Amino acid sequence: MGGQLEGTTAVVTGASSGIGAATARALVAEGATVALLARRRDRLEELAAELGGRAAVYEVDVTDEAGVADTMSAVARDLGAIDVLVNDAGYGSMVPALEADIAEWRTMVDVNVNGVLLTTHAALPHLLDAARGPRGIADVVTISSVAGRKVASPGAGVYAATKHAVNAFSEALRQELGGRHVRVGLVEPGLVRSEMTEHSGAAADAEERLELGLMEPEDIADAVVYMVTRPRRAAVNEMLVRPTEQTR
């Protein structure tokens, strides 16, 4: 195949759809072997079949501490290393506080915050090993959101709170790990066509408002690949990527 990530192993959470699936495809196209993580095993197996011998399937719920820890150990054992972690798994439910379903709030906090914390914590020893290896660098990329930078609309409160939280965690981790040659970065998308935005109606709404439409998952996958293929001396810490016509 021949690419800038030849010989590396990447873990992608949320690989069963949308941005995660597109990112897994893009990393494989660049030469990586990818561990595909999500709960829907059938979807992961379909993607793994498409990617040939370059992908392995791990069914896991990112909110399950023991499950995540076991999965990271299994990936490192099966695939030999973890050079890149992409924290993509996420959940969004945009409802004003007065009408809120508390279970939905809990799910967002669990998946978007605890999921990122648990996954990152479990991957870190392996990322540090990789950074000490021949490649000399490792990467954590978290898919945050424009909502990690600002609250763009009412109803987005808890989703934005979860994304602000991972932005804070990511920045602290960046300061902790740069000296050990683990780069830590954030990709902050605006509206992207995916199951999340198709189900909520946000994709259809954006299609109506924006002449050029919303972004495709591949646009965000491109940003992730750019981040993890920089020379060792350069770390892209943050990329905010919006549809051209998205204003907020």
Ligand X SMILES: NC(=O)c1ccc[n+]([C@@H]2O[C@H](COP(=O)([O-])OP(=O)(O)OC[C@H]3O[C@@H](n4cnc5c(N)ncnc54)[C@H](OP(=O)(O)O)[C@@H]3O)[C@@H](O)[C@H]2O)c1
Residue of the chain from 189, 219, 221, 239 that contacts ligand X (CB under 6 A) = 189
Residue 208: which residues within 8 A CB-CB, separation 6 or more? Answer: none
- Radius of gyration, alpha carbons of the chain: 17
The rounded Cα 43 to chain-centroid distance in angstroms is 17
Assess contact for 235 and 178: CB atoms under 8 A.
Answer: yes
Active site residue 91: no
What's the rounded Cα separation, in Å, for the pair 180 and 9? 19
Q: How far is the CB of 193 from ligand X (least distance, A)?
A: 7
Tell me if 195 contacts ligand X by CB under 6 A: yes
Residues 26-85 that bind ligand X (CB under 6 A): 38-40, 43, 61-63
Q: How far is the CB of 218 from ligand X (least distance, A)?
A: 11
Residue 98: C-alpha distances to residues 103, 162, 178 (Å): 14, 18, 42
Tell me if 20 contacts ligand X by CB under 6 A: yes
Q: Build a one-symbol-per-residue string for 137-156: x at contacts with ligand X by CB under 6 A, - elsewhere.
A: ------x-x-----------
Comparing CB distances to ligand X, the nearer of 145 and 167 is: 145
The rounded Cα 203 to chain-centroid distance in angstroms is 20
Binding site for ligand X (CB under 6 A): 13-14, 16-20, 38-40, 43, 61-63, 88-92, 111, 143, 145, 189, 191-192, 194-197, 217
Catalytic residues: 159
